[in-house]
Structure 1
């Protein structure tokens, strides 16, 4: 995914399905300096990860 699309998804009112290595995730915030996003698994919201935007896929 590119950073512009990630910013669009964060602004959307409706839910857009995004996966990180096949796992559905919720994007919490975007860091434009490092081109990473703070995400958590939809199945385990306690487990947060900082991941590269390029590793996120819109489904």
Structure 2
């Protein structure tokens, strides 16, 4: 994902699915100066990790 899209997702009132290495995650915050995002797994908000925003992928909903 790019930096601006990550900001949009973080500030959205809607839940927008995001994945990190195929796992669904929540974006907790972003660091403007380093292009890093603090994320947590959707199933375990206690474990957080700092990752590059380039590694995040917006999940697409299947309409099939």
User: What range is the shorter-chain TM-score in?
Assistant: over 0.9
> What do you get for the CA RMSD once the two structures are aligned?
0.5
Match of 2:43 in 1: 43
CA distance in 1, matches of 2:27, 2:20: 10
Would you identify which runs of 4 or more consecutive aligned residues in structure 1 move more than 3 Å? none
Gaps of 5+ in 2: 60-64
Give the TM-score of the pair, scaled to structure 2.
Answer: 0.89
The count of residues paired between Structure 1 and Structure 2 equals 59
Is 1:33 aligned to residue 33 of structure 2? yes
C-alpha distance in structure 2 between counterparts of 1:32 and 1:20, whole Å: 19
Q: Which residue of 2 aligns with 1:9?
A: 9
Larger Rg: 2
Q: Deviations over 1:3-25 (max 9, x none)?
A: 00001111110100000001100
For 2:45, what is the secondary structure of its paired residue?
A: coil
Q: TM-score, normalised by structure 1?
A: 0.96
